[in-house]
Amino acid sequence: MNETNFVLNWKITAALYREAASKATRALVRNWMIPLASIVSYFLFVYLVHIFSSFPGSAGGFTPQGLILGLVIIALLALYYGWLEAAVNGQKLKIKDLISMDLGLFFAVMGVGFMLWIINLLLGMFFSTNSAQALLNALHFGIFVAFNSVCEVIYLQRKDGITALQESVLFLKDNWAEWFIPLLLLLAPAIALIRSSIFFILAQGDPLLPALVFLESLLLYLEGNFGSSIILPITIGVVVVTWFMIFRGYLFKQLSTTSKRQRLYKQHL
């Protein structure tokens, strides 16, 4: 009895998951410096946010210190994207590669980040009342979902600006189920621990680093239950996030270069 295309498609997808997971694990072991650099970058980010937010006037709108912090975050993201790109493309990074800034990635992240910032700024202006909070969360959820693959579009396809956002929407239009199931599986333990809805968690996410929602959810649980004794679990969480981002990169390459029909046809051969 022939299998239906639906069942066969999910068997193919499961095989893609296994292949991407295996490649991501090997890439992380081969590039063991990436998780170490990611841990340093994360705690540097947390430290800088703490320092810059302590300046007078930091909480209200556009400030010089906010601009500086934004540029530093863009630089850290550009470095991180460069590490992910090297790992997904099978390269082995050297120490000098970890601090080598790719200006193309820097300006691509800046362009997309600026557009997302403008969108969020406008949403905050028009939906600032308490009664509109549910609608604002729904819009943030929609942004996170629609542009969820924009980071892979930036560092693997080298797209930027509105083009990168459009490519993310087009990619997810064809591959939304295959793309989001791994993220939901990653978040499942965190959802169970903090007893929050997936809608609320994803509404807080950033499309430029989607897997960070896992770390933020883990941090929320740890701070509520273990106080300050969270350095080790957060460190492990950063490694998990980095592995997952590499996994996404491999999965994106597979899904973006073949259609469902092509994968089914190849399986039938």
pTM: 0.91
Structure tokens at 80: 């991180």
CA distance 233 to 222: 8
Q: Which residues contact 115 (CB under 8 A, 6 or more apart)?
A: 161, 162, 165
How does DSSP assign 145-204, residue by residue? HHTTTHHHHHHHH---HHHHHHHHHHHHHHHHHHHHHHHHHHHHHHHHHHT--HHHHHHT
CB 218 within 8 A of CB 245: no
Q: For position 1, what pLDDT does the model report?
A: 38
Per-residue pLDDT of the chain in tens (269 residues, 90 and over written 9): 356 777 888 888 999 999 999 999 999 999 999 999 999 999 999 888 888 777 665 555 567 777 888 899 999 999 999 999 999 999 999 999 999 999 999 999 999 999 999 999 899 888 877 778 889 999 999 999 999 999 999 999 999 999 999 999 999 999 999 999 999 999 988 788 777 788 988 998 999 999 999 888 888 777 666 655 678 888 989 999 999 999 999 999 999 988 877 777 676 55
Under a CB-based contact definition with an 8 Å cutoff, are residues 174 and 262 in contact?
Answer: no
What 3 state SS string does 199-260 have?
HHHHHCCCCCCCCHHHHHHHHHHHHHHHCCCCHHHHHHHHHHHHHHHHHHHHHHHHHHHCCH
Q: Contact, 182 vs 175, CB < 8 A?
A: no
Domain spans of the chain, in order of start: 5-268
